Each structure stands twice: as C-alpha cells, then as structure tokens.
Amino acid sequence: MTIKESCDPLLVQLLLQAAERRNINLVSKGDYPGDTALHYIALRNDIALHQQARVFQLLVRYGAVSNRCGSQGRTPLALVSAERKRVRFTFTLNQ
C-alpha cells in the first residue's frame, strides 16, 4: 500500500524494519493477480528516479525476489519504463 500511494523510501524502510522485527515477510507476498511490491515500484513513473531506485534497493535487501513474474508474465525489471532503463540502477538482482 505504501508503494502504491506515497513511495517514500523512509516510510518503506520503517515498515520493512518493523515487519522484520516481528518476523513478517512483506516483500515476497504477492497480491491476488501475483504482483509483488517490486512489480508496483517498477511501474511507478510518476516519482523521482532516485526514489524508485532506493525503494527497489530496500525491497531487494529485505528479500524481495527480483526475477519473479507477475500478473503480466513479466519480471519487475521488465516493467520499468524504457526511459528509466537508460539510467543505471545500482542494485544487485537476486539470482
């Protein structure tokens, strides 16, 4: 929900930390069609690129699987707009 609404990296980090303390995995769960938080952040073209990259990094660091296909049959990275793909993201993809 946070990613769909505000996509504030600090808020995302606080929520991920709180979930981790309670041993709750928020990042690997998909919604009904199968999209995860990474799919939603990949589709966000209405926020600053540095915000998008930071949230992507946070999600991967907290265990999000970056090569999982979502409801469109595509991985999160495949959903990132072509314009934004020209900029190098500095994150490590899960193998």
Is the distance from CB of 48 to CB of 58 less than 8 angstroms?
no
SS3 assignment, position 12: helix
- What does the pLDDT read at residue 88? 52
Cα–Cα distance, 40 to 79 (Å, whole number): 9
Confidence of residue 74 (pLDDT cuts 50, 70, 90): very high
Confidence of residue 87 (pLDDT cuts 50, 70, 90): low
Domains annotated for the chain, with CATH where assigned, are: 2-81 (1.25.40.20)
- For 42-66, the pLDDT digits (tens) are 888 888 888 888 998 999 999 998 8
pTM, entire model: 0.79
